[in-house]
Amino acid sequence: MSEDERSKWDATYAQGAEAGNTRIVGPPSAALAWAGCPATGADRALDLGCGLLRNARPLADLGWRVLGVDVSRVGLARARPFPKGFQALHADLDHWTPPPRSFDLIIAIHYLNRPLLPVLAEALRPGGALLMEIRLDPDAGPDKPPRGFRLAPLEVARLLPQLVLTDLEENDERGLYRFVRVE
């Protein structure tokens, strides 16, 4: 991630609720309820681009041990106090990779990094789930790649052949996906 992009995220988090961005401030993503995320004890979760913990906090409250990774020091500072079971990591996901077979749940809510997807698949423990909520570009197709940090419909399934797509919901604006690692 470039220094300009890092600065943009720091400025966004510095504004907080005043920015009016419900993807960083507000209730947890509906994807968490959609997928069902009960903890069974020593479950470990990874929240990519955790920001102000709008998704990591409810997971920790359910008993998950959550590692939240974000590029913004400002966002992580504003997210304090951290809930029990939460650990913050300031890192650029273009350069940091999760350890293999370490997580029972990985969430990527409004975060897309195509080169990281195979690494995320490897970071799941057998039976672990990857939950994604990503903006879609419904106009994308074979001759027209998706814009920016958006996916073409069903593109993510093609990018993660090593996982089993168990749940899917796509509309004109967003896609919800739940993948499971079977082996």
CATH number of the domain enclosing 20: 3.40.50.150
pLDDT of 35 reads: 76
pLDDT of 167 reads: 87
| Cα dihedral: 82, 87, 89, 38 (round 10) | -100
Q: What residue numbers bound the domain in which 49 lies?
A: 3-180
Q: How many domains does the chain have?
A: 1
Q: Which residues of the chain have pLDDT under 70?
A: 1, 16-25, 138, 141-142, 145-147
pTM over 0.75: yes
pLDDT of 55 reads: 93
Residue 13's CB is within 10 A of a number of other CB atoms, namely: 23
* Residues forming beta bridges with residue 38, ordered by sequence position: none
pLDDT tens-place string over residues 55-100: 999 999 989 999 999 999 999 999 999 999 999 999 999 999 999 9
Q: Which two tokens stand for residue 67?
A: 């590692």
